Amino acid sequence: MSDEPITLSPGPQFRLAMLLAIAADALQLIVFPAFVAGALSPADDILDFAMAALLVRLVGWHWEFLPSFVAKLIPGIDLVPSWTLAVANVYRKAKSAAMTEQAAAGEKKFLAQ
């Protein structure tokens, strides 16, 4: 083990997941309402299923994706960029877990000396 501090930066998976989430939310907020009416639009549903599958594939299964998926099916709540918020929350939790793990490793090293 080295004494260098570990810095957590968003890896390619998180970056791609964030870009896809932003693009999906932009499509659902700006483009789809111009062409498709209502919450029963098949384009929105297909995009939501695809986003759920892609995000799980990129960053793994997280509970934050389930409310985002369900929220997109409820009229009014679908105006919130929930995919973007879900990916940001997953990254925040991953960063916090890495910091906690780093602190625990530092304590073990300190106690071993």
Q: Where are the domains of the chain?
A: 12-112
Q: Which residues contact 107 (CB under 8 A, 6 or more apart)?
A: none
**What value does the mean pLDDT take over residues 98-111?**
66
Residue owning tokens 């940001």: 88
Report CA-CA distances (Å) from 40 to 32, 43, 52, 74: 12, 9, 18, 10
DSSP state of 1: -
Residue 2 has pLDDT above 60, yes or no: no
Which tokens belong to 32?
């789809």
Q: What is the pLDDT of residues 54-63, one digit of tens each?
A: 998 998 888 8
Side-chain-facing half-sphere of 13: CA atoms under 13 Å = 10
